[in-house]
A and B are shown apart, each in its own frame.
Chain A
Amino acid sequence: MNRDQIIETTKRFLSEEFEVSTDVIIPENNLQQTLDLDSLDYVDLVVVIEENFGFKPTADDFKTVATFEDFYQLVEQKLAELA
């Protein structure tokens, strides 16, 4: 899965799960603020990430994620580890 595919996949499942417009899912935006995530929402985020990308992120993984760009980098890294 290349970067464009990761971005398109992410936009699709995050907009569906968290009911936000795909227009706000842009690399420089803050993921937590854009999706309005509280602590309980992270378990939902883990579920959709696992369903769509095949890996289960940990709490430590999320410490490195502030923006959507950070998230895309995390996905690329995890998918490379799985390959």
Chain B
Amino acid sequence: MKIEKANIKKYIPQREPFIMIDSLKDASDEGFASEFEIVETNCLLINNVLSESALVENIAQTCAAGFGYLNSLLEDAEPRLGFIGAVTKLSNFQSAHVNQKINTTVSILNTFENIHLIQGTCFADEVKLLECQMKIVLA
């Protein structure tokens, strides 16, 4: 585990109730992995089903935590802010429900200057829920 739940806020700019990631399981130059349990108080639940936008946000926050973690190793500095530049090639396969645990993987496909093209995929119980590509711009 790279970042435990108790420390995740040190690496992402989001705050409750908009935190959509619990912990960062893995981080390397190739990509990241995170976990997130859907609790019944989640603000993006609709009839106990997590919205598609919440999964997209989960991928973005996995990136934020991952890049923030890597940056902290390199520079021992505050995490850099990142912005979603674009979301493309989005496929929504299944919905996630309360009490399910989301496992998200992010692969860094390419980098040009401060722009990272990533592929993110969310799973629950090893079933693919959603995948998309994002351009993440680090400030």
Contact = CB atoms under 8 A, between A and B. Distances in A.
Interface of A: 39-40, 42-44, 46-47, 50, 56, 59
A59 B110 contact: no
Nearest to A51: B110
B115 A40 contact: yes
B139 to A, nearest CB: 13
A59 B115 CA distance: 12
Interface residues of B, number: 12
Interface of B: 85-86, 109-113, 115-117, 135, 137
B83 to A, nearest CB: 10
A56 B117 CA distance: 14
Contacts of B86: 40
Contacts of B116: 43
B115 A39 contact: yes
Contact of A47 (B113, B117, B137): B117
A40 to B, nearest CB: 5
B135 A50 contact: no
Closest 10 CB pairs of A and B: A43-B112, A40-B85, A43-B115, A46-B112, A43-B117, A47-B110, A40-B135, A42-B112, A59-B113, A46-B110
B115 A50 contact: no
